[in-house]
Every structure is written in structure tokens, then in C-alpha cells.
Structure 1
Amino acid sequence: MIHPTAPPLAASESHISSRTLPGWVGAVLLGITALALRGLQLSDFFTVDESFHWVWRVQHFTGSIRQERWADTNLTGHPGVTTLWLGLLGRRLALALGVSTEGLAEGSAAIGYLALLRLPLAIVHSLAVASGYLLLRRLFTPTLALLAGILWAASPFLIAHSRLLHLDALLTSFMMLSMLLLLVALLPPTDEPTPAPRWQMWLALLGSSVCAGLALLTKAPSLLLLPVAGLTMLFFGPEAGLWARLRGAVLRYLPWLACAVAVFWALWPAMWVIPGQAIASVLEEIFGNGAVPHHTGNFFLGQPVADPGPLFYLAVIGFRTTPITLIGLLLLPLALRQPGRARRALLALLVYAVLFTLALTLLPKKFDRYLLPIWPVLCVLAAAGLTSLRLPRAWRRWSAQVVRSVALAAVVVFLLITNLWYHPYYLAYFNPLLGGGAVAQRVMLVGWGEGMEEVGAWLRTRPDLAQSPVLSWDPRALEPFIPVRTIFLDDYSVNQPASYAVLYARSIQRHDQWAAQQQASQGAPLYTFRKYGIDYAYIYQPPRPFDTPTDALFGDGLHLRGYSQHHNPLEHTLVFTPSWNVQVDQPGGWFSFVHMLDEQGIRVAQVDVPIDGGLFATWQAGQQFGTALPIPLPPDLPPGEYRIVLGVYNPATGARMPLRAGDALPPDMNGAEVLDVGRFVYRP
């Protein structure tokens, strides 16, 4: 049986000082581990927001800085300035290395450039992990700090977003560092023979305010830091008595806030010249975007919804944490029973996490990544819960240090195996204790562009890819991986010629462009990209457009949906375009003939062609063929009405494929197994 233990969670300052070298060694090891997990193979896939927003924003921001067009740095109300500055560094790195920076903003195949845009952000996140670990050692025991640092460095959910050119992971790093520095300033060690110099408190407070300013430059939810920091200063200040703490909180909060505002002003050039417009864009983002449901909807508990409701973020915590973190959170009450400075630090972090979660819950627009800023806090709280256990009696013959080392090693091995298994698809991670991705895709939105590179790899093998554009729920996320144009799948484009249509889990879940998706997916999917139990993407061939339905069936599964025809007087041809649908897997290589018969049943024109253009040795259920067939007309063809007939045959043997359904032509007119398609009125 495992019992709660009662040793203090906080380490004394002298104890930490005596272990400075191991602390720095741990920080270096954690930083290297975090960077390896966040910085390798960054040219994997192209997320939706990167493709639609951030690549071109970096390009425009860089140009605005170079040309000193300060007002033009007001690109988004997030405001996303830290992402843009780091993206600028990545862009300059790409230029220095000779990597092409052109085209990706328009969706071309410069995917290596994307990796360099992401790299500076991955480095910043890794430095945040290492720095956070050192700060945690000033608040808690070295064991708790190390375990929290490991959970922070190796959280798949954090890793996934730390590898992207985006906002939420940066917001997480800056908000967490701001809170930790604030607690270091407010909760000095109490068991030292001499108190720490006041300049150390003010230095930590300055660092907290700088990180708060960086968070404000990143995304609007960081505004929650302002009241949280004030409340933390009030209730966790070192002074005795409420009025003394209130006075101390005011004296600390005002310079803290002033420094954060100064950082916000100094690093956003738009604030130098158009501060009113810059602030207005932030407010517009808050009230015009964050405070309304997402324009394409959401998905929760198996249903497309506008607002997932109050249980959503609880589900996010359950599904996005690792089993170790989730178990540690369940054990947190054991840690909170312990008295002392560490308990106060845990309570402050817990209050921060709860207030942040409640604030997000009140807003109708919800995504799992919005909760990311509390993730390092959850790692600390989980580490506190886990380190509040004591050894079973049978293990007490072993030293506590040995057991701690073995337990930490087991945690490291488990997390490394988990992350190696999911690399680089960290976005696909969902807690296996709750069923993993297979269950998660029935609970919340899955997929943010991952898998599109595999979709592109499959499409590149298709010999008919270049015949028409590809329809996709997100053209920009797919286009870097295929050499043809992609078009947004909607009610208009689905009725235009397209070689393939890509349906993605996220759009299927929330029924985005639902009528167009249903029309494009009438046949069987030709390819399904499935990974970690999640069905990410389906590739269909949309039915080829036609004007006149026939609903004829040849053989065991070659369906003629219909056809279109028009007269081309310039080339003196009748252009006949069938719409074929392969219903079952079967050998390919079949030809079709189209004959034009006069009133006496005499053939006056014809064309014989392979149904698939000669491209496929075998046909797969779901394939659609619709090559336009120009039938040459005799130069002396008299005006009148002509019959159009069609059949399918094996070119090697001449044997015709049986006509199973449809208007059959009498065998004495043009042989057996011939479909009477329709009429053509010729007027020269």
C-alpha cells in the first residue's frame, strides 16, 4: 500500500545552492531534450493556420521592418508580434542558407523554408523549459522540479504546438515564465540565516514583467495575467497583514505593469506610430473573433456544434495529458495538504490554471490549443502529486535516492518511447487511458493539417493527377505536397472538373461544406490515411460532370452515370464526354466505342478509346473516368437526327462487356451489349 508522505515540498535556498551544478546540468539536459523533440524534422506537414495566415504574415512583417513601414506591422489583432519577430529570424536564416523563401505563402512546394521559419520558435520553447526548471528549483525540491521539468519537456501536446509557426505555445512559455518569476519574487526562502537581498526580488519581478510583456505581444488571452499577477501579489506577498500586503502589492504591481507595457510598446513598431489603431485591432480580435463561435463551427461528443460547452476543456485535459500527468493531477490533494512555502506556490499556480480555464470556458469559441497556457502548470501540479507519495514498506530497505532515481528513469523512458512513437505526429497524441485517438475523434476535433503530406505522396503516384485540379478542404495545406493546383471544395467547385477530392477529418466532423463533401464522396474512397487510430483523410474521385443521366451498368461494376455532348463546328467533331464510375475492383484495359448511326442504323462516325486513357492496369472501386471523346464527323454528313450508341470491349479479344442495366440497342442494329445512349441533331 502506498501512503502519503509528509516531507516538505520546498527546498531551502542553502540546499539548492549546494546543488547548483546538478541544477545547471539538469537545465542543459532538459533544454537539449526539449530541443531535440521540438526541432527535428520540422518540414513535416503544413497546419491550417500556418498555411492561411502565418507564412504570409512573416513575409509582410519582414518587408515592413526592412522598409521601416512601422504602421504595416499591425497585421493581426492577436497581435502575434513575437511569432512574427521569430519568423523574421527564420526567414533571414533561410536567406543566409540559400533556401528559397518564395512561393510557400502562395502554397508552392518550398516546404524546407517552413522548417526554418519554425526553428527559432522551437529554440525559444526549449530555452523556456530549461529556464523554467531552474526557477522551479527555487520554489520546490530538486526532485519535484526535475520531474516537473521532464513532464514539461516531454509533453506531446506541448511539443506538438512548440514545433509550429504559431501563437499558443509561445503564449504558454511566456505566461509560465512570468508566473514562475513572480512567485520567486514573492516567495523567498524562509529558512536561510540571512534574507535574500531585495535586488534579487526586484530582478525576478522585472523578469516576470518582461515575460508578461512578451505574452501580451503574443496573444490576447495573456491579458488574464494582469489580474492574476495582481491577485498573486496581494495574497502571496511576504508582508504580514492584509493592509501591509495590499500596500506591498500596489508598490510591486505598478512597476511590474509599467515594464510590461513598455515591452509591449518597444517591440511592436505599430505602437510607435499608430498606437490607437494597434490597440483597436487587439480589441477587435477579442470581441469580433474570440468572443464569437468559430465561423466554420466546432465538434464535441459526436456532434457538430457552435459552442462545445462547459465540459470541453475538462475533456481536453483528460485526452491531451499523458497517463503520468493525469495520475499526478489526481494525487495533487496529497501535495496540497503539506504546509509551507511550496504549498503556497502550488496554490498560486492552481488558482492561475483554474481562473484561466474558467475564463476560456465562458467564451463560445473553443479549441484544445487555447488551453495550452496551463499545460506547464499541470506538469508542476502533477509532479507535486507524484512526489507526495512515500515508499511502500517493502521498499524502505532501499535508499530514497535510489528509488527516486529509478522512478525518474522510468518516467523518462516511458515519455521518450511515447514521443518517439508519435514523432513527428505529436498532434495525434491522445491519452491512451481514455482510448487514444480512436476515441478522441468521436469526442473532439482532430487533425490540423497533419497527414496532408502523406495524401500528397499518394496523389503524386497517380498518372491522372495532372488532368484537373484537386479539391481540398484546405488547399494551402495540401498544395506544397503536389505539383498541381488545388481548389477549395465547395458547392461550386465540386461541379467542375477535378481529378481528386480530399476530405479531411476536421471538416467532416463539423459538416463544413457538407453538401459538397457528400457529392464528392459518392463513390468509395480510393485512399484513407489512418494513423494512431485516427482516420485523418479520405481521397475520392468526384463524379465526372454530365448533362444527361443514363444510369447504365456494364459487367459487374462499371457504371455509366451519364454523359455530355456538344458539337464543335470548328473542328467538325461531336465531343462526347461520358461519366464512368467503377463500383468494384476489376482489371483495367477496357475500351469503349461510341458509334453514331443514321436513321437506317448505318454507322456514319465512331471513336474507340481506352476508358481510362490507358493509364491503369487495374481499376479500383471509386475511380471515375470522364475523358472527352471527339468523334470526327464526315465532311459530307447531311443534317438530321442521329442515334448515339456505346459499348465496352476487350481490345485483345474483341469480346464485349455485358450490358447489365440500361436501354439496350437491338442486337441486329450494332451487335449485342450496346447501350442506346441518346440522339444528336446535326445542323451544319
Structure 2
Amino acid sequence: MKNKTFQILGLALLLLVVILPSWLIKNDRVIDVDEPRWIIRGANFYYAVTHGEFENTIFEYHPGVTNMWIVSAAMQFYFPEYRGFGQGYFDALKMKFEEFMREQGKEALDVVRISRYIHSGMLAILAVTAFLLLCLLIDTKAAFLSVALAALSPFYLGHSRVMNLEGMLSLFALVSFLGLQVYLNKDRELIYLLVSGVAFGLAQLTKSSSIVVVGLVGLMLFVGLFKRDDRTLAAKIWDAVKTFAIWFTAAAVTYFVLWPGMWVAPGKMLADVYGNAFSYAFQGARLDVTQQLDPESFEVSSSGSGVFQFLQSWAASSTLITLVGLILALYFLLFGKKEDLPVPIKSTLTYLAILGGLFILMFGLAQGRDSQHYVLTSYVAFDIMAGMGWFYLWVTFRKKWVWLNRTYASILFLGLLIGIQIASGLPYAPYYFIYKEPWAAVPATYGYGEGFSEAADYLAQKPNAKEIKAYVYSGMGTFSFYFPGETVVLKRINLINDDFATITDDMRHTDYLVLYPITRVKQPETEKILGELEGVVEPEKVIYINGLEYIQIYRMADIPESVFEALMRKNKQ
């Protein structure tokens, strides 16, 4: 028993050694298009908490409270004086926060960097917790392999390296499931039930979409009613009700204690979070657009195309190790011998498949929520399954060839799989989320901010870079946090609305134009300006990533008057 404890602790430390470098190395080389808003919201959250204005601690319906606590901690460490200037709250869609920081001699990029270190620490704690819980359900080496493959999966790695919500959400959901699975099937210690409930509360504080975990919990408790033991059905029902009550109470207490807004205005907080979530899912927009929840207008996608698209994109952005491992897991789940896969292991595989499937089903049916990272929890669940699949293949081999039972053979096998998983993502570093299988036409995520740091670095090397004005498409934070000069944002809405009077005026008052042609398919309105430039004027610099044209940089002085005239002919404002 003592030796097993030391083995588990040793593997937990080794797990940190294996996964932490991927989260920490060059952790500031890409800022995605969503991240600057969360940095600003986090700074606003910090200001609200330090001024006791708890009713102002909701800035987005997700609600993203865990993220904002992390940014607040970074602000306290890096710039505690921030709370004392009386500047109030900044609009998360404007440049004022960044301008204010530079006026005080501070850089928003430093806040990002420190926040990501804290974020990585949180993810490491969650990964180790998931590993320890898995060790109570499956072989310790299988648990180690499964968590390592999940953490090092390029798509998950890319999204968990940035200050988005889904990286933490997926691990909170995983820990919540594993805690309850241990409680129901291995050890009825209260601590596991409380860990599960607290993790779910943290998942809800991160993003309301984790509500699907409630469905999984309900299913697990329902299945428990059919277990063969000496209890009566009434006793089983009472036990299920009591279990759910304790679990939900732990989640609710966590939700209340860690969100200051709940202390003073719980009704407002809950209405904003869940009202907007339902409005977006069933009416296609948030409440400030739809005005109210109208059940008669609720719609979901009935064609199944959304679900298929998520599954297709998942397959395209998962490694061969994951795909083969998942097939193996499903094979052993369906055809494995009982002595190899006892009931707790089979049910763990089954529930992981259901957890991953629920997220895909929810977003596949919801309106207007089609970004692949929304189902990051599915990636984690399927990667855990893949690790289990590979391990039980190894168990089968060891039974057939006795010499494979030697310790070094297992080390080589696990090391090879983990090494291949790491190697799969390295060609895409630091933009791991653009990983794709060779047969896929495009990555599941692209045009998400990758490449802008390289554009900023290019212009920053020019003489008097601090005096340069750059006009940048989607440049708030993605470009501006890196660039020492002035960034003027070319707003997508101006292209959509054909406001070329504003666009041409901004062009005439800046020095460089930075465009993002990688988005021309997803955002066809960008063609309105790209089409007038290409073939007429050569960009000073083109940035390629993995052979794809990502960024064009034009010197404004090189753009002929004919381009301005052509753009103005499109003006409708």
C-alpha cells in the first residue's frame, strides 16, 4: 500500500514535469481575439472588488468569474495601484484600458503573461486532481497516460495556453465527473462527493454551458437505482436524492462564496447568466437584442448538421494517437472481457463518452454557437478514453508476450505514446490550436489571432516605431499589446456596413495597414478591402504560417489614390 502511494505521488510529479513546459514555454506569443476582452473584464472585476462595488462584478453572461479572479490576482501582483486612480470601468471593446496602462508606465501584455502563469498553475492542480481520482478507478499507469494525452493534445493545449474559459471549464467538468464516479463506485467517502460538487460550482462560475454536467450526474444516480444489492428501492431513491442534494449544495455554496455579485444581487447575476444563455441557445442572440425570453420563438437545429460539423472538426483536429486510442477504447468497452474491464472501468468509459457527446449535442443543436473550442470538454473526455484504450491494448499484449511485463517495456510504451502526442503539436507551436490532420482542408480553429504578434514584431523593429500608427484589422490586443506605437483598429462592423468613409479617413491618418486575409472565407466582408489592394499594390510584408497566407502589411504611402477612390465608391454611410 505504501509503495503504491509513493508510485502515485511519483507519477503525479512526473505528470507535472511532462505537461507544464507546454503551458509555460513562450506563453505570450499569441493573444486570441477573445482574450483582450477577458483581460479588461478581469481588471474591471479587480476594480469592483477592491472598491466594494460587488454588484458590478458581472461583465459578461458566461460569467467567467474564475477567469476574472485570475486576472485580478495578476493585477494585484503587477499593478496594485490600479485600484487607486479612480478611473472606473473600461469598455471591453475599446482601447482605453491599454492606453490607461501605458500612461501609468505599465503594459497589458505583462498582465496577460502573469495571468497565464496563474492559469497554468490552476490547470496543473486540476490535471493532478483528475489523475489522482482516475487512479482510484483504473490502473495508475493508465491514469497517467490518459491525463498526459489529454493535456498535451494540440487543440486542447492551444486553447488552454490562453486566457479563455474553455481550458479550465473542461478540467472542472472532468474533475466533477470523476469525483462523483469515485464516490458512487469505489469509495463512499464524503470528500469525493464534495470535490465533485465544488468542481461543478467552479465550472458554472466559468461558463454556464457546463450545466450539461447535471444531466450526466442525473444519469449516474439513476443507473445506481438498478445496482444489485440488499437495499430496497426506497432506500436507493433516498440515497440518490441525498447524494444529489449534497452535491448541488456544495456547488451552490461555491458559486455563492466565490462570486461577490451573488452576495448583493443574486437575482440580477442569475438572470443575466441563465437568461442570456437560454436566449443565445434558443433565440440566437443575447437578451439586449431579443429583449426577452419568448418560449414560442425557441428553436434548435433539427437537421443534425451542427452535430456532424462538430464531430467532423473534432476528428480533423485530433491526433492519430487520440483517434486510434478512442477506437481501441470503444472496442474494449463493447467486446472486452469482464476480468480485464470490471464494471467501474466500463462505466467510466461510458460516462466519459456521454460527457463528450453531451457538449457536442448541446452546441450542435444551439443557435449561433459554432466555434469548435466550445466543445473543448469533449476533446478532454475523448482523450482520456483514448489513453485508457491504448493502455488496455498494452495489457492485452503483455498477456500474449510475457517479456513485455518488464518495467522498462511499459516505460518505453508510455513514453512513446506521450512523445508522439507532443511531437504532433510541435510544428504548430505556439499556435497549437491550428493543428489539423493531413486530410483536413482547414484547421478547426484558425484566424483566431495567430500571427499578429509577428506583424507587431516586424513593425516594432522599424526606426521610431513608437511614432508609427498602424491601422489593423481585429488588432485590439492581438496586435496592440505587442506594438509600441499607436494601434488604430479597423473594425469589422465598418466593413459589414460599408462605412468606407471612416475606413479611408483612418487609412489616410495612419502609416501602415495590417490586414488578416486568413479570415477571408469566414469573414467575406474582408474581401471588400483585400480585393481593391491585391494586384494593385504589393504588400511590404506578408506573413505565412504553415504555408498559409495570414497577414499582409502595406505601407500607406505605397497605396495609390485609385484604391481610396475605389473604396469610396462602395461607401453607403
Kindly indicate whether the alpha-carbon contact (under 8 Å) linking 1:46 and 1:477 is maintained by their aligned counterparts in 2: yes
Kindly indicate whether the alpha-carbon contact (under 8 Å) linking 1:104 and 1:110 is maintained by their aligned counterparts in 2: no
- The separation in 1 between residues aligned to 2:401 and 2:228, in whole angstroms, is 43
Hey, what does 2:431 align to over in structure 1? 425
Q: Does 1:116 align with 2:114?
A: yes
Which amino acid in the other structure matches residue 130 of structure 1? V
Report how far residue 308 of structure 1 moved: 7.1
Q: Does 1:476 align with 2:477?
A: yes
Question: Can you list the C-alpha shifts for 1:184-219, whole angstroms capped at 9, x where unaligned?
Answer: 00111xxxxxxx5x4x1x210011001111111110
Report how far residue 416 of structure 1 moved: 3.4
Question: Can you list the C-alpha shifts for 1:107-139, whole angstroms capped at 9, x where unaligned?
Answer: 665422310122211110011111111111100
Which amino acid in the other structure matches residue 250 of structure 1? V
Q: Does 1:368 align with 2:372?
A: yes
**For structure 2, which runs of at least 5 residues remain unmatched after alignment?**
88-94, 287-303, 566-573
Kindly indicate whether the alpha-carbon contact (under 8 Å) linking 1:57 and 1:84 is maintained by their aligned counterparts in 2: yes
Helix, strand or coil at the partner of 1:528 = strand
Which amino acid in the other structure matches residue 455 of structure 1? A
TM-score, normalised with respect to structure 1: 0.68
Kindly indicate whether the alpha-carbon contact (under 8 Å) linking 1:90 and 1:119 is maintained by their aligned counterparts in 2: no
Kindly indicate whether the alpha-carbon contact (under 8 Å) linking 2:305 and 2:364 is maintained by their aligned counterparts in 1: no
**For structure 1, which runs of at least 5 residues remain unmatched after alignment?**
1-13, 189-195, 296-306, 550-560, 564-684
Hey, what does 1:335 align to over in structure 2? 332
Report how far residue 512 of structure 1 moved: 4.8
Question: Kindly, what percent of the aligned residue pairs are identical?
Answer: 24
Helix, strand or coil at the partner of 2:523 = coil
Hey, what does 1:537 align to over in structure 2? 551
Q: Does 1:221 align with 2:205?
A: no
Change (3 A) 1:321 1:224: same
Change (3 A) 1:30 1:236: farther
Report how far residue 77 of structure 1 moved: 1.0
1:232-243 aligned at under 5 Å gives the runs 232-236=220-224, 240=229
Hey, what does 2:73 align to over in structure 1? 89
Change (3 A) 1:398 1:209: closer
Kindly indicate whether the alpha-carbon contact (under 8 Å) linking 2:67 and 2:164 is maintained by their aligned counterparts in 1: yes
Higher strand share: 1
Which amino acid in the other structure matches residue 538 of structure 1? Q
Report how far residue 383 of structure 1 moved: 1.5
Which amino acid in the other structure matches residue 520 of structure 2? I
Aligned-residue CA RMSD in angstroms? 3.1
Helix, strand or coil at the partner of 1:479 = coil
Kindly indicate whether the alpha-carbon contact (under 8 Å) linking 1:79 and 1:220 is maintained by their aligned counterparts in 2: yes
Hey, what does 1:132 align to over in structure 2? 130
- The separation in 2 between residues aligned to 1:239 and 1:218, in whole angstroms, is 38
Report how far residue 80 of structure 1 moved: 0.7
1:603-618 aligned at under 5 Å gives the runs none
Which amino acid in the other structure matches residue 437 of structure 2? N
Change (3 A) 1:153 1:471: closer
Which amino acid in the other structure matches residue 92 of structure 1? Q
> Residue 322 of structure 1 is aligned with which of 316, 319, 323?
319
Q: Does 1:20 align with 2:17?
A: no
Report how far residue 147 of structure 1 moved: 1.2
Larger relative contact order (CA 8 Å, sep ≥ 6):
2
Change (3 A) 1:445 1:146: closer
Q: Does 1:412 align with 2:410?
A: no
- The separation in 2 between residues aligned to 1:259 and 1:216, in whole angstroms, is 12
TM-score, normalised with respect to structure 2: 0.80
Helix, strand or coil at the partner of 1:287 = helix
Which amino acid in the other structure matches residue 456 of structure 2? G
Q: Does 1:150 align with 2:141?
A: no
Query: How many residues in Structure 1 have an aligned counterpart in Structure 2?
Result: 506
Q: Does 1:347 align with 2:350?
A: yes
Hey, what does 2:49 align to over in structure 1? 65
Which amino acid in the other structure matches residue 74 of structure 2? G
Report how far residue 450 of structure 1 moved: 1.6
Report how far residue 348 of structure 1 moved: 1.7
Question: Can you list the C-alpha shifts for 1:68-101, whole angstroms capped at 9, x where unaligned?
Answer: 1110112211111111111111122223799xx9
Kindly indicate whether the alpha-carbon contact (under 8 Å) linking 2:54 and 2:263 is maintained by their aligned counterparts in 1: yes
Helix, strand or coil at the partner of 2:361 = helix
Hey, what does 1:44 align to over in structure 2? 29
Hey, what does 2:139 align to over in structure 1? 141
Hey, what does 2:20 align to over in structure 1? 35
Helix, strand or coil at the partner of 2:513 = strand
Change (3 A) 1:137 1:392: closer
Q: Does 1:280 align with 2:271?
A: yes
Kindly indicate whether the alpha-carbon contact (under 8 Å) linking 2:447 and 2:519 is maintained by their aligned counterparts in 1: no
527-536 vs 234-243, greater mean Cα deviation? 234-243
- The separation in 2 between residues aligned to 1:356 and 1:206, in whole angstroms, is 23
Report how far residue 504 of structure 1 moved: 1.9
Structure whose alpha-carbon radius of gyration is higher? 1
> Residue 495 of structure 1 is aligned with which of 499, 504, 510?
504
Question: Can you list the C-alpha shifts for 1:477-507, whole angstroms capped at 9, x where unaligned?
Answer: 2112331232214333432214333222553
Question: Can you list the C-alpha shifts for 1:7-53, whole angstroms capped at 9, x where unaligned?
Answer: xxxxxxx6xx65111111111121233222112322212221112x1
- The separation in 2 between residues aligned to 1:247 and 1:393, in whole angstroms, is 43
